[in-house]
Amino acid sequence: MGDPRTRVVLAAGSLAVLATGVVLGSGPLRTALLGGTGDTVDQLQSDLAAAEAARDAADEQTIAAWEYLDAAGATALAGSLADVDVLLVGVDPAASPFDSDLTRHVTLASGTVAGVVETADGWADSASAPFRDALAEQLEGTLVGVDDATPDELLAHAFVQGATGAAPTGTDRLDVEAAGTDRGVVVWDLLTQAELVEGDAAESVDVVVVVAGTADADVLVDAFAAYDAPVIVVGPAAATGIYQDRDDIATVVDGDGWPWSVTTAAAVTEVLRGAVPHYADGEIPAVLAGVGAPEGADG
């Protein structure tokens, strides 16, 4: 570190700098050197403190509104999903993991989460594309109601038929019967063994909720839209924007902190009535319009 003289000089210099800072921080010297600028600095510091306090108060009000909607929404939706089976589908779950509140709100509305399924790492891995193409060709004969499809489309329909056991709308029932009652189970097992999907498939599905992340989900969403169960896509604006103008797919934007699980549960009740809602971040669903807001809370 150098000789003792050097260390003494450095220490003295540090003390001088510290002393200068203390002197300038307040007192006559500060006024002499800064003049009116010192008053400006004081005012800016005061303004900053006030702005931070206002921000904290606004955050507290927003949190209060969210918590209120979470609780009041559950009460307003109670019993609205009785005898309804909901399939939860995760696309790119690492980027948009399932929120336990989604399951909770479906359950509080008396609905049943019939299955929770997700795409696995191999679903979109570019290195495994040749393998997926070969698997799609093998699965083509197992699927029903799917013609003239690309390998990606075939796998998407395999996902849907495996996860739900259903067939596309308008499919000949004789074709479904010929494919066997275990068709969906067999397809899902094959996709699972290939490490393209994971999760527990459903035996019965009334509504499909697709939770999309950053990965491209449109092929899979389009496949689900070809079946009888209505589809709701939930995710960030970038993932849901391409469906905003569609009349066969509902959307819910998942905003930061906003209790989107309440909005999604409400959207499920609406699509079962034939509506196709598109809810932006923070927008209150029509079915919850009468819930109101807590006193002093900004929604």
115-124 pLDDT, tens digit per residue, is 999 999 899 8
d(CA 36, CA 51): 23
The strand pairing partners of 231, in sequence order, are 208, 249
Of 92 and 80, the one with more pLDDT = 80
Query: Which residues are CB-neighbours of 288 under 8 A, at least 6 positions away?
Result: 69, 72, 73, 76, 77, 262, 266
Nearest to 284 by CA among 296, 272, 265, 274: 265
Average of per-residue pLDDT across 218-247? 94
Secondary structure (3-state) at 278: strand
> Is 21 a residue whose pLDDT tops 70?
no
* DSSP structural state of residue 136: H
> Is 54 a residue whose pLDDT tops 90?
no
> Is 254 a residue whose pLDDT tops 70?
yes
Show the DSSP H helices in the chain as ranges.
4-25, 28-34, 37-77, 100-108, 129-139, 151-164, 173-179, 183-193, 218-225, 237-240, 260-271
d(CA 88, CA 114): 8
Query: What percent of the chain clears pLDDT 70, i.e. is strictly above it?
Result: 74
d(CA 73, CA 12): 66
Q: How confident is the model at residue 63, as a pLDDT? A: 57
Highest mean pLDDT among 21-30, 79-88, 90-99: 79-88
pLDDT bucket at 12, cuts 50 / 70 / 90: very low
> Is 107 a residue whose pLDDT tops 70?
yes
Q: How confident is the model at residue 135, as a pLDDT? A: 96
pLDDT bucket at 4, cuts 50 / 70 / 90: very low
202-223 pLDDT, tens digit per residue, is 999 999 999 988 767 999 999 9
pLDDT bucket at 53, cuts 50 / 70 / 90: confident
> Is 238 a residue whose pLDDT tops 60?
yes
Of 36 and 108, the one with more pLDDT = 108
Mean pLDDT score of the chain: 81
